[in-house]
Amino acid sequence: MQKNLVILGATGSIGQQTLDVVTGPLAADYRVYGLSAHNRGDRLAELIRKYRPRRAVVTNTGQYQEVLAATAGWEGELLSGPGGLLELVTDPAVEVVVSAVVGAAGIQPTLAALQAGKTVALANKESLVAAGELIMTTLKAKSPARLIPVDSEHSAIFQCLQAIAEPDLKQVHLTASGGPFACWTAEEMKSVTPAAALAHPTWRMGGKITVDSATLMNKGLEVIEAHWLFGLPYDRIKVVIHPQSVIHSLIELVDGSLLAQLGPADMRLPIQYALTYPGRKANPFSRLDLYQLSDLQFYPPNFKRFPCLELAYAAGKAGGALPTVLNAANEEAVNAFLAGRIGFLTIPRLIEHAMSAYEKGSNQRLDLDTILAVDDWARRLTRQLIAGQSSLG
C-alpha cells in the first residue's frame, strides 16, 4: 500500500530531491498527495502538472491566480496562504509530511502535522530551533506522531543510535565542512560577497542554508536541533570540522568506541532513510569508493572567527525564547546580506544585538503565540538595526 505523502517546500533543494526519491527508489511505497511552494509559482505549476497531487498550496497568495491558470485541467485542489499548509498537513488522508520549507515559516505546519499525529520527516531545522520544546512536547503527547531527522548530521546520529541503550552514549560529534571561508582570516572575511558565500565546497543547497554554512550558523542551529531531537545537554554535543563531508556525524560511547555514518554528500540518502525507517531499500545513487578515500581531516572549530557558532551554543544553553531570537535575527540578517545591504561580518553582530536586547520574560510559557510574537519582535528589531547600520560599530 502506498502512503500519502506531502512535501512542504517542494520547489526547494530538499523538496526536489524528495521528489527524486519518492518517484525513484520509493515509487512503490509513496504517492505524492500534496505539494507546496512559496514563490516560483511557475515551478510549482510544473510540478503539479508532472506529479498530479491531490492538493497543492501556494503560500504566497499573490501567486495563486498564476498557478491556477497554469494548472487548468488538473483535477486536484489548489489552496493558498500559510493557512493552506495547515489544512494540507492535517488532511486525514495524509500519512507522512516532509517539512522542507526554509526558515521559521516551518514552525506552524510542522507543529500542526505532529498535532494531527502524522509522521514528519524534518529538514526544516529552524522550527526545532525556534520552537523546540513545544514541538517535542507535542510529539510526545500526540501518538502516533513521529519526528524523523532529514538533516544529514542528525540522520547519521539517528542511524548510529539504533540499538544503542541511552546510558551507553557519552556524547555526539556533529561534523561540519567548515564552509568556503574555513581558512580565511577575520580581515579577509570583511569583504566576503554573497556570490562567494553561495559557493559551498561540498554541498549544493538553497541560498539561506548555504550562507548559514559559511558563517557556521548552520552548525549552531544543528547543535540546538540535536539537543531537542536526542534530548542531550549542550556539553554532550560537540562540533568537529571535517572538510571532506564524508563522515556525516559520529556518536561516542561510554567505553570509548566511536560509531560513524559515512556516505557521499548526497541528501537523497538521508531523505530516503527518513522515509524507509526503520527499514532500508536499495537505490541507484552514487556510492563511496573506499579506495578513493584518503586524508580525512578533523579539527576543532574556531569560535573566534565564527562567532555565530558561539552565539548558538549560548542561546541554546540559556534556553527559553533566546534560540527563537537567534533564529529570527539570523534569518533577517542573511536576507539583508544576500540583498547586498550588510557585510558578512555584520550577520553575527546583528544577532548578538538582538540577543542582548531580549529580556527574558519571567517564567514565560513558550506557547505558539509567544514564540511567534518573539520571532516577530526580533525580526523588527533586526530590520531597524539594519536600517541604522552605523550604530552597529
Q: Are 94 and 71 in contact (CB under 8 A)?
A: no
The reply on whether position 303 binds ligand NAD by CB under 6 A is no
Query: Could you count the other beta carbons within 10 Å of the beta carbon of residue 166?
Result: 8
Indicate which single residue of 125, 227, 248, 268 sits in contact with ligand NAD (rule: CB under 6 A): 125
Q: How far apart are CA 32 and CA 16, in angstroms?
A: 12
Q: How far apart are CA 205 and CA 213, in angstroms?
A: 10
Nearer to ligand NAD, 38 or 227 (CB): 38
The reply on whether position 275 binds ligand NAD by CB under 6 A is no
Site pattern 149..168 for ligand NAD (x: CB under 6 A): --x-----------------
Kindly state the cell numbers that stand for 128. Answer: 526545532
Nearer to ligand NAD, 101 or 322 (CB): 101
Q: How many residues bind Mg ion (CB under 5 A)?
A: 3
Q: Are 240 and 233 in contact (CB under 8 A)?
A: no
Nearer to Mg ion, 45 or 172 (CB): 172
The reply on whether position 97 binds ligand NAD by CB under 6 A is no
**Element containing residue 161 per DSSP (H, E):** helix 152-161
Site pattern 12..51 for ligand NAD (x: CB under 6 A): xxxx---------------------xxx------------
The reply on whether position 151 binds Mg ion by CB under 5 A is yes
Nearer to ligand NAD, 223 or 353 (CB): 223
Binding site partner of 205, from ligand NAD, Mg ion, none, Cβ cut-off 5-8 A by kind: ligand NAD
Q: Which stretch binds ligand NAD (CB under 6 A): 9-17, 24-32, 325-333, 369-377?
A: 9-17
The reply on whether position 215 binds ligand NAD by CB under 6 A is no
Q: 389 burial class (0-12, 13-18, 19+ CB within 10 angstroms)?
A: middle
Q: Are 88 and 79 in contact (CB under 8 A)?
A: yes
Q: How far apart are CA 347 and CA 352, in angstroms?
A: 9
Nearer to Mg ion, 34 or 179 (CB): 179
Residue nearest to Mg ion (CB): 151
Is the four-CA dihedral 160, 211, 128, 15 of positive or negative sign?
negative
Nearer to Mg ion, 4 or 152 (CB): 152
Indicate which single residue of 4, 6, 11, 381 sits in contact with ligand NAD (rule: CB under 6 A): 11
For residue 80, give the amino acid letter: S
- The b-or-e profile of 93-123 (16+ CB within 10 A means b, else e) is ebbbbbbbbbbbbbbbbbbbbbbbebbbbbb
Binding site partner of 15, from Mg ion, ligand NAD, none, Cβ cut-off 5-8 A by kind: ligand NAD
Q: How far apart are CA 40 and CA 281, in angstroms?
A: 33
Nearer to Mg ion, 13 or 138 (CB): 13
Q: Which stretch binds ligand NAD (CB under 6 A): 198-206, 232-240, 288-296, 335-343?
A: 198-206
Q: Are 164 and 253 in contact (CB under 8 A)?
A: yes
> What is the contact surface with Mg ion in residues (CB under 5 A)?
151-153
> What is the contact surface with ligand NAD in residues (CB under 6 A)?
9-15, 37-39, 59, 100-102, 105, 123-126, 151, 203, 205-209, 267
